[in-house]
C-alpha cells in the first residue's frame, strides 16, 4: 500500500524533470590552464594592493637612484648668498646651510643610501645562503662546528662592530658596507640552514633520492627552489635595516660624511636644525620613513605570495 | 639538562674570549701610539717612559697575555680622554645609569608592545591592525635620534615655552636633558623603548595568530569558557613563549643601544662615554667599552637561555 504511494509520488516528480546523461569527457576537462609557480606568485602579489604600491615606489626610488644624479648633478654646488632658504620655485625643497639644493642632495642621497643597502645585503645574501646551505646540507659534525661559529658571532652586536671598524679603519662607504657584512649574514645563514634541514626529511626529497637523484640534483632542483621564498623575503626586509644602520652611524659622525650626501647625514643635519628649518628635517625624514615602510610592506606581501601554502 | 647548561656556559666564555682577542688585535692594528694621536707634543723621552709604564714596549704576545689577565681582574686600562681615569671606574659609575634607562625603556616597550600586538591580532585586518603595522615599521626603522629630536622640540621646548607664557613659571614637565628625577626619564625611555614596542608588537601578533588556530582554543571555546578568559589564560599565555626568547636577546640590545639617546639627552651613561671616546679617538676607552658590552650581552643571553629551560618544559625534556 505504502510502496505504491511512494512510487506514485516519484512518478509525479519525474514529470517535471528530464534525465540528463553524465558527460564524462566534459567533466574531466580542465578549464583553467595550469599555472607555474612564478605565475601564481605574480597573481597573488597583484591582488595585494599595498605590496604593489610598495613595489612601484621602490622601483621609482631605484630609477631616481640610477638616473637622478645624472639629471641633477650639482649636489655639491654651494651658494652662500642663499643659505637655509625655505622651499621656493627655484629650490623645491629649499637649501641647506651652505646653500646647496636639498632636492638635488636628496636625489644623490637616494643613490648612496640605496647602494649601501643593496650592496651590503647582497653580500650578506651570498655569504648567508652559501654558509647556511653548506651547513644544512652536509650536516653532522661540520654543521655543528659551523653553528658554533655563528653562536659566537651572534653575541657581538652589529652597532659595536660598526663603531669599532669605522673608528679604526678609513671612514667611508667601503668600510661601512664591510662593517655591515661582518655579522649581517648570520640571520640568513640560520634561516637557510633551518629550511634545508627541515626539507631534507620531506617526502619529496626522499622520493627523489629513491628515484636515484644525486646530491647535486637534490640541492639544485629541490632544496634551493623551495627555500627561495623565505630568502627573498629576508633580503627585502633586511635592506631597510642596513640603510637605517648608516643613519645611526651618521649621528656619531661615522656615516657617510659631507659633502657626499646620504639619507643618514641629511637626517642628522635636519634633526640638528629642527624646528628652525623644517624642510631640512622633513624632506629626508618623510622619504626615509616611506622607503622603510615600502620595503617592509613589500616583504610582507612577498611572504604571502611566495609561500604556496598561504595562497587562497 | 646539566650538559646543556655546561655547554652554554663554555660557549659564553669562548665568545667573550673571541671578542677580547679580536678587539686586542684591532687595537694594535692602528698605527702610532695611544699617546701621540695628532697634535699632542710629547718628547721622545716622555713617550719612552709612557710606553714602558703601560707595557707597550713589550712583544705583542706578552702584551696580549697581560691584557687578558688585566681584563680578567677587571682592569680595562685608563681613558686618555677622561683625564687618565680608569675605564673600570668610569664603567662602574656610568653603567648603573645606562641600565636604569634601559630597564625603564624595556618595561615600557614590553608592556606597550605586547598589548599592541594582542590588540592587532584580535582585530586582524581592521584599522588597529594596520595602525600597529605602521607603528611597528616606523618604530623599527626610523633612527631614534629623529624621534628624539621631534619629542625634545615639541614636548620639551614647545610645552615649557607654552607653560612659561601662560603660567609664568620655568617648570618643565619634560626636561630635555640630564637625568635627575622621574620627569627627566620620560622622553628618553619612551624613545629608547619604541624599538622594543615595534618588534614585540609584530612578534606578539604573529604568535597570537598561530595560537588562535590551535585545537585547544576550539576545545576551550566549546567548553563554554568566556571570551576574556580564553584570550588571557589560553591565547596570550601560550603566545608569550616566543616573545620571552626574543626579550632576552633584546635586553643586551636595549642597554647597549642607548648611546644615541644618551648623548642626545646629555645622560651621563656608558653610551655617552662611548660616543665621546669615539670622537676623542680614545681607543682604550672604546675598546674597553666594547669588551664590557659584549660581556654584558653574552651574560644576559646566557641567563635568558637558562631561564628559558626552566620556563618551557619542552626544552627541558628535549635536552
Is the pLDDT at A312 greater than 60? The verdict is no
Whether residues B252 and A244 touch (CB distance < 8 A) is answered with no
d(CA B164, CA B168): 5
Which residues in chain A are closer than 8 Å to B141, comparing Cβ atoms? 240-241, 244, 288-289, 292, 296
Nearest Cα to Cα of residue B270 among B140, B149, B89, B13: B89
Residues B288, B90, B193, CA angle at the centre, nearest 5°?
85
As a whole number of angstroms, the distance between CA B144 and CA B139 comes to 8
The domain segmentation of chain A, as residue ranges, is 1-34, 41-310
DSSP β-bridge partners for residue B85: B79
Regarding predicted confidence, which is higher, A236 or A83?
A236
Give the side-chain half-sphere CA count within 13 A for A217: 11
Residue B319: pLDDT band with limits 50, 70, 90? very low
CB proximity under 8 Å: B 231-290 to A: 252-253, 256-257, 259-260, 274-275, 278-279, 281, 283, 286-287, 290
Q: Do B286 and A164 touch (CB under 8 A)?
A: yes
Report the range out of B113-122, B173-182, B222-231, B249-258 with the highest average pLDDT: B113-122
Q: How far is it, in rounded angstroms, from Cα A266 to Cα A284? A: 6
**What residues make up the domain containing B190?**
2-317
pLDDT in tens, B242-263: 887 777 777 777 777 788 888 8
ipTM of the modeled complex = 0.74
Q: Which tens digits make up the pLDDT trace of A132-164?
A: 888 888 888 888 888 888 887 877 778 878 887
- Is there a contact between A184 and A124 (Cβ–Cβ < 8 Å)? yes
* CA–CA gap between residue B164 and residue B158 (Å, rounded): 10
Rounded distance, CA A221 to CA A223, Å?
A: 6
- Chain B residues 136-175 within an 8 A CB cutoff of chain A: 137-138, 140-146, 148-150, 153-154
Task: Please answer yes or no on whether A155 and B294 come within 8 Å at the CB atom.
Answer: yes
Give the fold, CATH level 3, of A41-310: MetI-like fold (1.10.3720)
Task: State how far the Cα of B102 lies from the Cα of B188, in Å rounded to an integer.
Answer: 10
Query: Do residues A292 and A242 lie in contact, with contact meaning Cβ atoms separated by under 8 Å?
Result: no
Give whichever of A32-36, B4-8, B218-222 has the largest mean pLDDT.
Answer: B218-222
pLDDT above 90 for A62 = yes
For residue B85, the SS3 value is strand
CB atoms within 10 A of CB A15: 7
Nearest in space to B201 (alpha carbons), one of B294, B84, B121: B121
| Partner B, chain A 211-270, Cβ-Cβ below 8 Å | 240-241, 244, 247-248, 251-254, 264, 267-268
Alpha-carbon span B194 to B187, nearest angstrom = 11
Asked if the peptide bond before residue A259 counts as cis, ω within 30 degrees of 0, the response is: yes
Q: Cβ(A191)–Cβ(A228) under 8 Å?
A: no
d(CA B56, CA B48): 9
Number of domains in chain B: 1
Q: What is the pTM of this model?
A: 0.79
pLDDT at A292 over 80: yes
CATH number at B179 reads 1.10.3720.10
B225 CA: distance to closest CA in chain A (Å): 30
Nearest CA in chain A to B287: A164
Amino acid at each position: 500500500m505504502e510502496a505504491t504511494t511512494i512510487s506514485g509520488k516519484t512518478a509525479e516528480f519525474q514529470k517535471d524533470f528530464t534525465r540528463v546523461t553524465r558527460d564524462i569527457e566534459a567533466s574531466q576537462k580542465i578549464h583553467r590552464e595550469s599555472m607555474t609557480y612564478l605565475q601564481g606568485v605574480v597573481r597573488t602579489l597583484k591582488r595585494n594592493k599595498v605590496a604593489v604600491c610598495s613595489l612601484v615606489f621602490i622601483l621609482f626610488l631605484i630609477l631616481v637612484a640610477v638616473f637622478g644624479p645624472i639629471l641633477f648633478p650639482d649636489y655639491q654646488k654651494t651658494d652662500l648668498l642663499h643659505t637655509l632658504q625655505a622651499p621656493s620655485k627655484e629650490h623645491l625643497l629649499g637649501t641647506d646651510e651652505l646653500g646647496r639644493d636639498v632636492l638635488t642632495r636628496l636625489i644623490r642621497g637616494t643613490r648612496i643610501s640605496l647602494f649601501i643597502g643593496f650592496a651590503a645585503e647582497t653580500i650578506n645574501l651570498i655569504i648567508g645562503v652559501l654558509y647556511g646551505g653548506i651547513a644544512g646540507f652536509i650536516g653532522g659534525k661540520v654543521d655543528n662546528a659551523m653553528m658554533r661559529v655563528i653562536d659566537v658571532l651572534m653575541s657581538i652586536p652589529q652597532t659595536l662592530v660598526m663603531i669599532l671598524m669605522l673608528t679604526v679603519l678609513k671612514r667611508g662607504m667601503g668600510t661601512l658596507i664591510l662593517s655591515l657584512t661582518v655579522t649581517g649574514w648570520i640571520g640568513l645563514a640560520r634561516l637557510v640552514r633551518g629550511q634545508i634541514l627541515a626539507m631534507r626529511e620531506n617526502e619529496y626529497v626522499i622520493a627523489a633520492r629513491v628515484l636515484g637523484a644525486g646530491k647535486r640534483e637534490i640541492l639544485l632542483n629541490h632544496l634551493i627552489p623551495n627555500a627561495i621564498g623565505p630568502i627573498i623575503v629576508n633580503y627585502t626586509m633586511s635592506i631597510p635595516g642596513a640603510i637605517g644602520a648608516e643613519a645611526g652611524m651618521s649621528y656619531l659622525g661615522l656615516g657617510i660624511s659631507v659633502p657626499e650626501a646620504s639619507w643618514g647625514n641629511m637626517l642628522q643635519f635636519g634633526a640638528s636644525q629642527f624646528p628652525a628649518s623644517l624642510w631640512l628635517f622633513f624632506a629626508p625624514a618623510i622619504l626615509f620613513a616611506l622607503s622603510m615602510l615600502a620595503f617592509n610592506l613589500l616583504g610582507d606581501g612577498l611572504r604571502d605570495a611566495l609561500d604556496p601554502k598561504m595562497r587562497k | 639538562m646539566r650538559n646543556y647548561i655546561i655547554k652554554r656556559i663554555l660557549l659564553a666564555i669562548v665568545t667573550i674570549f673571541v671578542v677580547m682577542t679580536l678587539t686586542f688585535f684591532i687595537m694594535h692594528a692602528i698605527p702610532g701610539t695611544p699617546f701621540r694621536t695628532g697634535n699632542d707634543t710629547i718628547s721622545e723621552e716622555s713617550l719612552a717612559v709612557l710606553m714602558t709604564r703601560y707595557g707597550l714596549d713589550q712583544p705583542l704576545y706578552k702584551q696580549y697575555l697581560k691584557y687578558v689577565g688585566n681584563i680578567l681582574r677587571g682592569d680595562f686600562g685608563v681613558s686618555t680622554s677622561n683625564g687618565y681615569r680608569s675605564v673600570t671606574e668610569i664603567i662602574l659609575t656610568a653603567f648603573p645609569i645606562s641600565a636604569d634607562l634601559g630597564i625603564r625603556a624595556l618595561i615600557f616597550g614590553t608592556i606597550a608592545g605586547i598589548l599592541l600586538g594582542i590588540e592587532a591580532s584580535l582585530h586582524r585586518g581592521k584599522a588597529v591592525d594596520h595602525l600597529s603595522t605602521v607603528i611597528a615599521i616606523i618604530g623599527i626603522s626610523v633612527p631614534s635620534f629623529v624621534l628624539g629630536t621631534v619629542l625634545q622640540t615639541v614636548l620639551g621646548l614647545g610645552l615649557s615655552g607654552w607653560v612659561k607664557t601662560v603660567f609664568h613659571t620655568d617648570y618643565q614637565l619634560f626636561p630635555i636633558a640630564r637625568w635627575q628625577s622621574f620627569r627627566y626619564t620620560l622622553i628618553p625611555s619612551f624613545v629608547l623603548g619604541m624599538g622594543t614596542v615595534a618588534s614585540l608588537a609584530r612578534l606578539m601578533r604573529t604568535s597570537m595568530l598561530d595560537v588562535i588556530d590551535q585545537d585547544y582554543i576550539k576545545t576551550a571555546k566549546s567548553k563554554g569558557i568566556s571570551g576574556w578568559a580564553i584570550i588571557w589564560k589560553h591565547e596570550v599565555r601560550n603566545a608569550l613563549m616566543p616573545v620571552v626568547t626574543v626579550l632576552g636577546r633584546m635586553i643586551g640590545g636595549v642597554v647597549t643601544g642607548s648611546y644615541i639617546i644618551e648623548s642626545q639627552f646629555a645622560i651621563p651613561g656608558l653610551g655617552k662615554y662611548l660616543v665621546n671616546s669615539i670622537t676623542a679617538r680614545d681607543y682604550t676607552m672604546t675598546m674597553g667599552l666594547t669588551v664590557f658590552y659584549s660581556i654584558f650581552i653574552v651574560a644576559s643571553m646566557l641567563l635568558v637561555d637558562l631561564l628559558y629551560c626552566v620556563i618551557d618544559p619542552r626544552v627541558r625534556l628535549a635536552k
